Chain A
Amino acid sequence: MKELSLNILDIAKNSVKAGADTVYVTLTETADTFTMKISDNGCGMKPDFLRTVTDPFSTTRTTRKVGMGIPFLKLAAEQTGGSFSIESKHESDYPEDHGTVTTAVFNRNSIDFTPLGDIVSSITTLIQGSPDIRWIFSHTMPEGEVELDTQELKEVLGDVPLDNLEVVLWIKGYLEEAYAS
């Protein structure tokens, strides 16, 4: 992946496939680190499967919802001297609070740190692709914060779906302005 925002797009789609109705995409930057955390309330993974998700070759076709996405992200984080973790509770064991949390920490000063790239496009693409999910995005930087909770937009929009073209363009413009200010 050429941009971290593409990894974010890719990994968040696992939450969609897991049937989550709420997904948090949380980015936190300091002078030295970049942390991305994606957490969802989807079906989660059983311990046996969870142990193998970072290995691209253990993925069988029936469990293909992971494939190369997680190994790519793990590699991208670890090659900067950062870390990667994934925790999950499967719905069969945790009927009340199941879901998955994927966290990757990057060392921003490493020469192998992949730039974030076009995060606005990734967030817009996620919302456009899965308008029924509540997306809660936040990006905390030393110079400020950008936030978006699609629930707030839905309250204004009523029956008009989030993947309505004009709404998608509004979201894109809103995020671009938030980053510019």
Chain B
Amino acid sequence: MKSLAELAAIKEKMQNKVVLREGSSDTRVVVGMATCGIAAGARPVLNAFVEEVGAAGLAGSVMVTQTGCIGICQYEPVVEVYEAGKEKITYVKMTPEKAKEVVEKHLKGGKVIDEYTISKV
């Protein structure tokens, strides 16, 4: 059974990590979660990013956040990737499988997956 003691252990661990996290590159993954996004399947896409970023060991440098309607509802689920010093990348018609690939190739490997971006649809 999950216990609050486990949560306390997480707290201990995180407090030790705070020092390490400072100065790491700042990448933000933003998932559109308005009615349009949710209806198109944004929830599993968001969850895939949260889990895969953790599995890839990127939790310290990549932040996964939610936003409202990005304005291109027909392309939902839409995911934007902001990296310091680089142009924003907009991935469209996302799925959990594509999210996993984006984590591996783009966030970890540094290579944008052009075929999933808005300029290629």
**A residues touching B (Cβ–Cβ < 8 Å)?**
1, 6, 9-10, 13, 17, 64, 67-69, 72, 118, 121-122, 124-125, 128-129, 152-153, 156-160, 164-170, 173-174, 177, 181
Contact = CB atoms under 8 A, between A and B. Distances in A.
Contacts of B44: 121
B15 A160 contact: yes
Interface residues of B, number: 31
A125 B46 contact: yes
Q: Interface on chain B toward A: helix, strand, loop, or mixed SS?
A: helix
Interface of B: 1-2, 4, 6-8, 10-11, 13-15, 33-36, 38-39, 43-44, 46-47, 50-51, 53-54, 59, 64-66, 68-69
A170 B14 CA distance: 14
B10 A167 contact: yes
Given A128-B66, A159-B15, A160-B11, A166 B54 contact: yes
Contact of A164 (B6, B10, B51): B10
Q: Interface on chain A toward B: helix, strand, loop, or mixed SS?
A: helix
Q: Select the residue from A121, A128, A166 with max chain B CB neighbours within 10 A.
A: A166
